[in-house]
Amino acid sequence: MKLVKRIIGASLALLSLSSMAAFKIPVYEKYKLDNGLEVYLMQQTEVPLIDISLTIKAGAIHDEKSYGLANLTGESLMFGSGKLSKTEIEDKLAFHGAELYSSTGMESSDLSMSIAAKDQKEMLKLLQSIVLKPKFDKDEFDKFKKRLSNQLIQRRESPRNVIGSVFGKMYYGEHPYGNPVIGDLKSIEKVKLDDVKSFYSKYYTPNNAAIIVVGDFEKKSMKKQIAKLFSNWKGQAPKAKVLPLVNPKTDSNVWIINKEDATETTFMIGGKGINSSHPDYVAAEVINTILGGRFTSWLNDELRVNSGLTYGARSGFSDHSVAGSFAISTFTKTRTTFEAVDLALKTYEKLWEKGIDAETLASAKAYVKGQFPPDFETSGQLAALLSRMWVLGLDDSFINDFEAKVDSLNVESANKLAKKLFPRENLQFVLVGKALEIKEKAKNYGKIKQMDIDKFTY
Amino acid sequence: MIKFLLKCVLLIGFGSAIAATKPEDIKQFTLKNGMTILVVEDHSIPNANMYLFWKVGSRNEVPGITGLSHFFEHMMFNGAKKYGPKQFDRVMEANGGANNAYTTENLTVYTNWFPADSIEKMFDLEADRIQNLAIDEKMVESERGVVTSERSTGLENSNVRMLMEEVKGSAFRAHPYGWSVIGHQSDIDSWSLKDLKDFHRTYYAPNNALVVISGDVTLKQVKRLAKKYWEPIPAQQEPQKVRTVEPEQKGERRVYVQKPSASSANIMFAYHVPETSHEDYYPLEMLANILGNGDSSRLSRSLIDEQQLATSVFTYFPRAFDPNLFYVYAVAAKDVDAKKLEKALIKEINKVIRDGVEAKELAKEKNSAQVDFYRTLSTINGKSNTLGTYALFFGDHKKMFSAVQDMGAVTAEDIKRVASAYLRKANRTVGILDSAEDSQEEDL
């Protein structure tokens, strides 16, 4: 059993905080098939492996009220295709040491495959069959739905697992970004196989997809294989969904999620953030590095190092295309709940009151730049990067201008941007813990709403 | 100037064909004080890492100081002579570096990741805390709070953590593998400054470490820096060997843990198995995978897919210096009785004992090992961590390169044999975690 010193970057899943710095994106080729499918090819030859990402712009924001529909659709692709059953697909992948994951996020779904270069022909064919010829087996679908409901119930045993989706729901409300990606116990119950089939027909089309291949392959032959396998894919997805604006918050709310046997309180505090293509996103990341994005950050320093209140405290921005949120997250034993909440708030206020000094800024700039290259070391990481850039509409400058953007930040601009990009008023609070012991004091922070952890449905 | 140079390296790195690391690419040297250093030159990114493996873990503890190895993993960041409190992290981050550390039953491992041009700073920082750690009373008190929070957040969020603590405690009644790596709360609350000072002197001696450095570095540069910063640190007497040998288990042991918020039963089996250097290691590892690794594994197929008794299953077979445990874990589906799930698990295990495994299952394991080997080689961190692991647990880092072949030599008969030898009832501890009170109604 491993115990790890830090949890920065490892938990409280709502936040995405990739550190990015001085690095140029490796050379890749990009083209489009006649049916609209975008193809990205990037060669990496250190090891004889290939990573493939087949990404579809269909995520939880397309669920409408059927929370979890996009996720169920992505999972359903794995239930058999062409002549192969679900278990035959699994066996075939495992026999070749291949990995295939179906994952669904807020704005996209992704099938990512990691294979030995020598198996490319067979595995690409399998991937094609999974995406283009799903069987949507009814028995497998029912079995999966049952298991998923079970897992949603089990998730509620761990505050860390649920707090991110609760915060998302609280902050975004009825806005699509508030949709729980995995789904909701009630809505999953209602989703029928026909709903999945129609979601699939609507969104799984070549003009709504990209195939990204990174690794050890021969370009000419890869192009040929892709053309052969995917040129006949037909269909037209509807125009991209235009998301509404997020209603600004005009007061502070406190959601208490009661867990009877809790010995600690897990909490998030946050508010309005920025979208991923925001011109100041890089600046926001550097400033957040100072506030809550690394071990010596203000939050971790105060709440962990100076006071011993917690094992870790952090903060970060969400990673969405048109709007975003920001949150601070940590946990502490029940008795010190408000000591920790107050210290987090006080530390956060430093952004406005004391501001960032030159030495701290220089350190944060060196840190984000220094920690950048290892994020894009493997074929799998690079495939995920290209997939993310495609979904969020980011071009190469997202990577290539990173260093310049980091470097251009000075004390004056950093302090000005900190005040502009981070939310100060109308903060929202989620506290997961023993309600009986924390409810009274929690009232001081905003309007209270209380739920039981074993009752809510997502 | 340096930045410019870095960029060139980077572009060349991506433009040219980089070959996978081979055994002869690993260089090794030992300093006069006994510290051994492995170096892997890999110029694929302008970064490098430094993994320091200290041969100390919870197996080196005794009652009263359980959890001290892990606590030390924290204390090593709390200030030394040249770099005072907080300075280790501050200086490292200001130089573009990041770090982490982990503690196991066997090892404490410190990991530094940094832009290659900061390497000298890393040597300096490490030398300071190895030789001159300041164990400050105030820092110790504050760190007790941090570790207590780490302990309770683990128990709060993870059923596995909670159940494993009880199962280990029951499976071992003599050997220190019996307590959790994080230790007993009462020990965390009460170890003394003297305990800490003795522990540091004994275990953080250069002759008790193995260091692996991979990345955009050269052997020559590493040698020069190691000699300058680390060679002056004096060696210490070899730490005492762990003497206790766990007596043979004579019959099944059972533990029950009540956790009111559990929504379904969790089951853990733990079987005593030999240490990693034992000849049965690979057959056992392959058995663990065939049983519980991935959708196509036996337990997953049977319990999740076919019978729908469980929502997740896995096996866990940690590497260890001394004989340790082979774990099987399952989470029951809603309304599935723990007894029923337990029976189903045992039935699958017994099938292997009775009928062995199929040729295609063996082939699958061998193929996966090959591809996983390449995945390991695809990052500098994979290289450092895995080389260190093989050097320590298998006695030679070169075993990393022969692992695929070594697995290739395992036969279906070997797997059947180890299953029969170790996965026996009398050798098993069963743990169940569930929401209901362990009721005495039936006793009355």
Chain B residue with Cα closest to A358: B94
Whether residue B11 has pLDDT greater than 50: no
Q: Are A366 and B371 in contact (CB under 8 A)?
A: no
Please choose, from the candidates B354, B68, B395, the residue with its C-alpha nearest in 3D space to the C-alpha of residue B210: B395
- Map tokens 């409810």 to a residue: A439
Q: B156 and A158 in contact by Cβ < 8 A?
A: yes
Tell me what the pLDDT averaged over chain A comes to. 93
Task: Read off the tokens for B325.
Answer: 């445990």
pLDDT value for A16? 32
**Stretch B292-319: mean pLDDT, rounded?**
97
Confidence class for position A307, pLDDT limits 50, 70, 90? very high
Contact of B17 with B189, CB cutoff 8 Å = no
Across A129-143, A336-350, B17-31, B196-210, least confident range: B17-31
> What residues of A are in contact with residue B146 (Cβ under 8 Å)?
304-305, 308, 310-311
Interface of A with B in 426-455 (CB under 8 A): 453-454
Assess whether the region B21-230 and the region B253-434 belong to the same CATH fold: yes
* % pLDDT > 70, chain B: 95
Question: Is A26 near chain B, with CB under 8 Å?
Answer: yes
Contact A160 B157 (CB under 8 A): yes
pTM over 0.90: yes
pLDDT band at A2 (very low <50, low <70, confident <90, very high): very low
CA distance A285 to A368: 8
User: pLDDT, tens digit, for every residue of B231-277?
Assistant: 999 999 999 999 999 999 999 999 999 999 999 999 999 999 999 99
Quick one: residue B143, left, alpha or beta (phi over 0 = left, psi -120 to 50 = alpha)? alpha
Give all strands of the β-sheet with A3-4 in edge-to-edge order: A3-4, B98-103, B108-115, B47-54, B209-215, B36-41, B26-30
pLDDT at B8 over 60: no
A311–B46 CB contact, under 8 Å: no
**CB atoms A3 and B381 under 8 Å:** no
What is d(CA A295, CA B99) in angstroms, rounded to the nearest whole number? Answer: 9
The yes-or-no verdict on residue A15 having pLDDT over 50 is no
CB pairs under 8 A between A and B: 241
User: What is the distance in angstroms between the Cα of A146 and the nearest Cα belonging to chain B?
Assistant: 9
Return the closest-CA partner of residue A150 out of B304, B128, B83: B304
pLDDT category, A22, cuts 50, 70, 90?
low
Nearest Cα residue in chain B from A9: B100
* Residues 299-338, chain A, touching B (beta carbon < 8 A): 301, 304-311, 331-333
Q: Is the pLDDT of residue A51 over 90?
A: yes
Distance CA B34, CA A207 (A): 62
Task: Tell whether the model's pLDDT for residue B422 goes beyond 70.
Answer: yes
Higher pLDDT, A348 or A12: A348
The ipTM of this complex is 0.90
3 state DSSP class of B52: strand
How do residues A221-241 score in pLDDT, each as one tens digit?
999 999 999 999 999 998 988
Band the pLDDT of B18: cuts 50, 70, 90. Answer: low
Contact A340, A303 (CB under 8 A): yes
Which pLDDT value is given to residue A424?
97
Exposed, middle or buried, B355 (CB in 10 Å: 0-12/13-18/19+)?
exposed
DSSP track, A331-383: EEEGGGHHHHHHHHHHHHHHHHHT---HHHHHHHHHHHHHTSGGGG-SHHHHH
Question: Any chain B CB within 8 A of the CB of A144?
Answer: no
Lowest mean pLDDT among A3-12, A383-392, B232-241, B279-288: A3-12
The tokens describing B412, both together, are 């279906």
DSSP string, B210-226: EEEEEES--HHHHHHHI
Pick A128 or B441 by higher pLDDT.
Answer: A128
Q: Which residues partner with A43 through β-bridges?
A: A215
Q: Are strands A253-258 and A428-433 parallel, antiparallel or unpaired?
A: parallel
For domain B21-230, the CATH architecture is 2-Layer Sandwich (3.30)
Tell me: the pLDDT tens digits for B183-242? Answer: 999 999 999 999 999 999 999 999 999 999 999 999 999 999 999 999 999 999 999 999
- Helix, strand, coil distribution of chain A in percent, nearest 5: 45, 20, 35
Structure tokens at B231: 């060679």
Question: Over the stretch A193-214, which tens digit does the pLDDT of each residue have?
Answer: 999 999 999 999 999 999 999 9
Closest partner residue to A311 (CB to CB) among B146, B262, B296 is: B146
Asked if A87 lies within 8 A of B296 by C-beta distance, the reply is: yes
Residue of chain B minimizing CA distance to A117? B371
Is A309 close to B149, i.e. CB distance below 8 A? yes
Q: Which of A2, A95, A310 sits opposite B104 (nearest CB)?
A: A2
**Cβ-defined contact of A47 to B304 (cutoff 8 Å):** no
Whether A8 shows a pLDDT value over 70: the answer reads no
Q: What's the gap in Å between the CA of A3 and the closest CA on chain B? A: 5
Count helices and strands (H / E) in chain A. 17, 15
Handedness of CA B360, B366, B370, B371 (dihedral sign): positive
Q: How confident is the model at residue A454 (pLDDT cuts 50, 70, 90)?
A: confident
Q: Considering only residues 204 to 243 of chain A, which have any Cβ-Cβ distance to chain B shorter than 8 Å?
A: none
Pick A261's closest partner by Cβ from B153, B158, B259. B259
A3 touches chain B (CB under 8 A): yes
Min distance B419 CA to chain A CA atoms (Å): 22
* Residue extents of the structural domains in chain B: 21-230, 253-434
Could you tell me which chain B residue has the CA closest to the CA of A260? Answer: B261
Which two tokens mark B183? Answer: 């230790």
Measured CA to CA, the distance from residue B211 to residue B213 in angstroms comes to 7
Is A159–B97 a contact, with Cβ atoms under 8 angstroms apart?
Answer: no
Strand order from edge to edge, sheet including B428-434: B253-258, B428-434, B266-273, B324-332, B310-316
Q: How far apart are CA B292 and CA A86, in angstroms?
A: 18
CA distance B89 to B294: 38
Phi, psi values for residue A330, rounded to 5°: -165, -170
With 90 as the cut, is the pLDDT of residue B17 above it?
no
Q: Is the pLDDT of residue B150 over 80?
A: yes
Q: Do A295 and B101 touch (CB under 8 A)?
A: no
In chain A, the residue whose alpha carbon lies closest to the alpha carbon of B4 is A22
From the list B100, B331, B375, which residue is nearest A6 (CB)?
Answer: B100
Tens of pLDDT, residues B337-369: 999 999 999 999 999 999 999 999 999 999 999
Give the span between the Cα atoms of A180 and A409, in whole angstroms.
Answer: 36
Tell me the two tokens of residue A68.
């979890």
The count of other CB atoms within 10 Å of the CB of residue A415 is 18
Least confident piece of the model among A235-244, A257-266, B127-136, B190-199:
A235-244
Tokens encoding B35: 């510290």
- Distance between CA atoms of A429 and A269, rounded to whole angstroms? 5
Q: Which CATH class is domain B253-434?
A: alpha beta
Query: Cα separation of B78 and B67, whole Å?
Result: 17
Residue of B nearest to A333 (CA): B149
Which of A192-206, A392-406, A414-428, B205-219 is least confident? A392-406
Q: Which of chain B's residues have a Cβ under 8 Å away from the Cβ of A333?
A: 148-149, 152
pLDDT at A438 exceeding the cut of 80: yes
